[in-house]
Amino acid sequence: MARARKLHDRWRRFRGGATQDAATNYARPMSAGADAPPDFTPGVDGDELPILPAPLAAIDAGSNTVHLAVMRPAYDGHDLRILKDSADLVQLGADVTAIGAIGPERAAAAIAAIRAQVATAQALGATTILGIATEGVRKAANAKTFLERVEAETGLRLRLITGDQEAALAYWGAVSETPQITGKRGVIDLGGGSLELIVGQGTRITWRASLPLGGGVIRNRFLPSDPPTFRELSGAYQAVTAALGALPAPATTDVSVCGGTATALAQMARRALGKAARVESAGGATDRGQRILTRDQMDQLLTLTLRYSAAELATRYHLREARARLMAPGCVALLAATERFGVERLHVSKRGIREGALLAYLHTGADWLDAASSGRGWRIPAAGAAGKAS
């Protein structure tokens, strides 16, 4: 216990100093474009709107997982009823980091997972399945060959999306969980290969940035030891803080985070910290019924990653070992992003890229990726309004 307290105090002293020394030079943002429409906010609930007759599905091939979401969305733009949410931990990004391409074994594993997920979606009645490939595939030298093979062997066309598109889909998915929030909002999307920071209002994105600083990248670049050393961890934190410090992220007081690593960190906080992990709002109830990660909790989790190997973390806190390896780099990324936004805590969203893709398809049809490129979003009809506004 004394050693744990000593480690924790040492980390807090380091981070306090590092935060003050963070870079403050701002670079040009990746904007949503000059032709963004005027501000608007979601409409109020009206009469119940019809449910789509068939479910929709999305499959996301990322650096860590191949993830399936099957949902039955309503025309109000927010009500997404989950029919199936499952993931296979394939880790395409590990090969890309090691050899610059997707190796034959992981390619075969990913294709097998996609084939099974397509069958699951179809069995649940989905006739439209959106395929998405993100950073883990984007950086692969053999990405084109891999995508062609996936389509030939599974029938699913994976769309290789850009960092800007990924940011938009993550934002729309995360904010759809709490549509009652109408002011400016921030979203952090932490993946294995990339880290996205997004700000918007309603469904309109006003600012976004995508950096190759996902959990897997940070681990491979800065944290080779298991468990990481204090020097490695402090070096990783300084590097990520400096990278984010160069971004002119707009101020916002409400920030959500999405992604499997963030969800696992919230799970680890609940199991490791107990009551300390339950942050209550001023009214005394758990904030919005959502999981919360605070800076203090992340500091405490980082202390644990200094003490225990990935195998020990997996055993103690019921994590997959491959996911446990991402706890330290995930904490580093989220601490730096939280500080960049200037907030003390993050709301951990259960929704993300897949839900955002389904909402974009629901509102814009075949133009869903064009909508993600522009970031313009869509208008939510007010009570009594017919159809969808363009």
pLDDT in tens, 174-230: 998 887 777 899 999 999 999 999 999 999 999 999 999 999 999 999 999 999 999
pLDDT of residue 278: 54
pTM for the structure as a whole: 0.84
Same fold yes or no, 2-29+177-348 and 56-162: yes
Per-residue pLDDT at 167: 97
> Residue with structure tokens 């996936």?
150
Please report the pLDDT score of residue 149 as a whole number: 97
Dist CA 269 CA 245 (whole Å): 27
How buried is 34 (Cβ within 10 angstroms: 0-12 exposed, 13-18 middle, 19+ buried)?
Answer: exposed
CA distance 273 to 44: 38
At position 262, the amino acid (one-letter code) is A
Q: Please report the pLDDT score of residue 106 as a whole number.
A: 96
In the prediction, which pLDDT does 235 show? Answer: 97
Token pair listed for 19: 């935060």
Cα distance between residue 208 and residue 167, in whole Å: 7
Looking at CATH, the fold of the domain delimited by 56-162 is given as Nucleotidyltransferase; domain 5 (3.30.420)
Read off the tokens for 217: 């990248």
Residue 190: phi and psi, rounded to 5, are -105, 110
Largest CA distance in the chain: 64
DSSP 101: S
Q: Is 247 helix (H, G, I), strand (E, B) or coil?
A: coil
Which residues have C-beta within 8 Å of that of residue 133, sequence separation ≥ 6? 60, 61, 62, 143, 147, 158, 159, 160, 161
The answer to whether residues 224 and 60 touch, using CB atoms and an 8 Å cutoff, is no
CATH architecture entry for 2-29+177-348: 2-Layer Sandwich (3.30)
Q: How far from the centroid of its chain's Cα atoms is residue 11's Cα?
A: 26
Phi, psi at residue 19, to the nearest 5°?
-65, -40
Neighbours of 310 (CB within 10 A): 22
Give me the pLDDT at residue 179, please: 77
Contact between 323 and 89 under an 8 Å Cβ cutoff? The reply is: yes
**pLDDT for the residue 31:** 36
Quote the pLDDT of residue 275. Answer: 56
Every domain of the chain and the residues it spans: 2-29+177-348, 56-162
Sequential pLDDT tens for the chain (390 residues): 777 777 888 888 877 766 555 443 333 333 333 333 333 333 334 445 454 558 999 999 999 999 999 998 776 655 678 999 999 999 999 999 889 999 999 999 999 999 999 999 999 999 999 999 999 999 999 999 999 999 999 999 999 999 999 999 999 999 988 877 778 999 999 999 999 999 999 999 999 999 999 999 999 999 999 999 999 999 999 999 999 999 998 989 899 999 999 999 999 999 998 855 554 433 333 444 568 999 999 999 999 999 999 999 999 999 999 999 999 999 999 999 999 999 999 999 999 999 999 999 988 999 999 999 999 998 765 544 433 433
For residue 181, the model assigns a pLDDT of: 77
Give me 218's structure tokens: 């940070």
CB 240 within 8 A of CB 328: no
**Cα distances (angstroms) measured from residue 268 to each of 27, 274, 296:** 35, 9, 14
pLDDT at 76: 60
